[in-house]
């Protein structure tokens, strides 16, 4: 039996295409106009601001203390009126960048991208990479601004454009290092607020870490999931000792027990620990993911936009992990709701990202972001507005210092 082209398309249900129209259901002139507008898009200007947000209390982890989020806000403008927003959140104890190095990097990126096509994201990021070594947070700010423009040009929330469907999911909330009593009280408060999963910072003296965790488990009861993060603070024997001792406390996993560069140590801890191991500071970009998989150094990855250089590389890490049958978390530094929302779009877009740690602004004294994701009792919901779905309070921007 032979089938004509028309008959074949009809059989597939593509009646409109068979009838000579386009398969998108748009009048062809409107489609042509939209295509022409997207083809013409050009970056006309970039504004960079020092974006400082005070914390309500200092945030202490095993390798340092942060008293404020000293970020950058980036606004990329185009000739079609579409504007992309991005944020860099350098966390000096971890990535070694500062607001000052990020600002210098952002200036160089600005000079390079003005006049370019904002939708050529892969091409632009390949050019940005060699321009600003060791400033992944600055790169992430531009990456997310470009994806914001892409989503707005397409008229779709970013996670839908990236093929995702889960706009609602759980995030944990983090308790930093403090006295045993303060940590137990804070954890109890979070559990009472409805958080189903808590993340607890450890990585100091293993016996003291254990005592704090035991007090937290007693305070929150058996139903709340607890994951821990040692932030490279332990030696290999300390990590093995601590994680074996913590086994009865039902710990979900442990992030970065030993030094980031010590892949053999990570592997040794993983082999002897009853609690699974997640790589965080050992993992920046997709190449690190491959190295860690080859070294059998961890069970899972903690992806952060500020380490990987943004959305594109974060998705690439998830793909590498997926090919190795591994699951991931997306975490954060001390971002505002802008960069947190960008990270949430990544979570929503990838099936093997099954954990979220997107609480970076929980101790922020102000929230200047309009729209974006919302978190109620640990349940995170993404907006259905095009792009990232965020704006910044213009009154707040007026007070910021331009770079």
Q: Which of 166, 201, 245, 402 is catalytic?
A: 201
Q: Which is nearer to Mg ion, 188 or 201 (CB)?
A: 201
229 binds Mg ion (CB under 5 A): yes
172 binds Mg ion (CB under 5 A): no
C-alpha 25/C-alpha 390 separation (Å) is 29
335 binds Mg ion (CB under 5 A): no
Given a contact cutoff of 8 angstroms between Cβ atoms, the answer to whether 212 and 188 are in contact is no
Q: Which is nearer to Mg ion, 230 or 380 (CB)?
A: 230
# chain residues binding Mg ion, by CB under 5 A: 3
Catalytic site includes residue 304:
yes
Stretch that binds Mg ion, among 101-109, 214-222, 249-257, 258-266 (CB under 5 A): 249-257
Q: Among 280, 288, 359, 363, which residue interacts with Mg ion (rule: CB under 5 A)?
A: 280
- The least CB distance from residue 257 to Mg ion, in Å, is 11
**Nearest-10 Cα torsion for 314, 317, 323, 329:** -70
186 binds Mg ion (CB under 5 A): no
Catalytic site includes residue 39:
no
Mode of pairing for the β-strands spanning 327-330 and 353-356: parallel
Token representation of residue 30: 């409107």
| Beta strand ranges found along 187-311 (DSSP E) | 197-201, 225-229, 251-255, 277-279, 300-303
Q: Among 255, 335, 359, 363, which residue interacts with Mg ion (rule: CB under 5 A)?
A: 255
- Can you list the alpha helix ranges (DSSP code H) found in 51-135? 92-95, 99-113, 121-131
Q: Largest Cα–Cα distance of the chain, in whole Å?
A: 79
Stretch that binds Mg ion, among 20-28, 115-123, 199-207, 252-260 (CB under 5 A): 252-260
Q: Treating both helix axes as pointing N-terminal to C-terminal, what angle do 136-154 and 121-131 enclose, rounded to 10 degrees? A: 170
Stretch that binds Mg ion, among 73-81, 228-236, 292-300, 322-330 (CB under 5 A): 228-236
Among 217, 220, 164, CA closest to 192: 220
- The least CB distance from residue 331 to Mg ion, in Å, is 6
How many CA atoms lie less than 13 Å away from 7 in the CB half-sphere? 4
Stretch that binds Mg ion, among 133-141, 227-235, 238-246, 347-355 (CB under 5 A): 227-235
Q: Which residues are catalytic?
A: 201, 304
| Residues lying near Mg ion in the complex (CB under 5 A) | 229, 255, 280
């Amino acid at each position: 039996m032979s089938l004509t082209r028309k008959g074949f398309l009809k059989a597939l249900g593509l009646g409109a295409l068979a009838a000579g129209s386009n398969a998108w259901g748009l009048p062809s002139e409107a489609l042509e106009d939209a295509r022409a507008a997207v083809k013409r898009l050009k970056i006309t200007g970039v504004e960079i601001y020092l974006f400082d947000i005070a914390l309500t209390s200092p945030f202490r982890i095993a390798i340092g203390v942060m008293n404020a989020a000293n970020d950058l806000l980036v606004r990329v403008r185009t000739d079609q009126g579409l504007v992309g927003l991005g944020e860099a959140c350098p966390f000096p104890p971890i990535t070694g960048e500062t607001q000052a190095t990020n600002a210098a990097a952002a200036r160089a990126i600005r000079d390079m991208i003005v006049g370019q096509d904002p939708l050529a994201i892969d091409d632009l990021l390949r050019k940005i990479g060699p321009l600003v070594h060791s400033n992944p947070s600055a790169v992430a700010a531009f990456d997310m601004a470009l994806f914001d423009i892409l989503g707005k040009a397409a008229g779709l929330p970013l996670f839908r454009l990236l093929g995702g469907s889960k706009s609602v999911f759980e995030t944990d909330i983090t308790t930093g290092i403090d006295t045993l009593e303060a940590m137990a009280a804070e954890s109890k408060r979070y559990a009472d607020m409805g958080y189903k999963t808590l993340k607890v910072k450890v990585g100091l003296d293993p016996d003291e870490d254990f005592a704090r965790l035991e007090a937290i488990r007693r305070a929150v009861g058996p139903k709340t999931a607890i994951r821990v993060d040692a932030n490279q603070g332990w030696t290999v024997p300390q990590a093995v000792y601590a994680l074996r001792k913590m086994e009865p406390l039902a710990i979900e996993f442990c992030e970065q027990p030993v030094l980031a560069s010590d892949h053999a140590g990570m592997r040794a801890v993983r082999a002897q620990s009853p609690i699974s191991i997640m790589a965080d500071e050992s993992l920046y970009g997709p190449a690190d993911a491959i190295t860690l998989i080859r070294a059998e150094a961890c069970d899972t990855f903690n992806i952060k936009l500020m380490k990987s250089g943004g959305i594109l590389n974060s998705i690439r890490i998830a793909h590498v992990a997926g090919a190795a049958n591994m699951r991931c978390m997306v975490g954060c530094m001390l971002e505002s709701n802008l960069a947190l929302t960008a990270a949430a779009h990544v979570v929503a877009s990838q099936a093997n990202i099954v954990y979220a740690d997107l609480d970076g602004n929980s101790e922020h004294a102000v929230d200047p972001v309009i729209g974006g994701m919302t978190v109620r009792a640990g349940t995170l919901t993404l907006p259905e507005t095009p792009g990232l779905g965020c704006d910044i309070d213009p009154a707040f921007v007026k007070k910021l210092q331009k770079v």
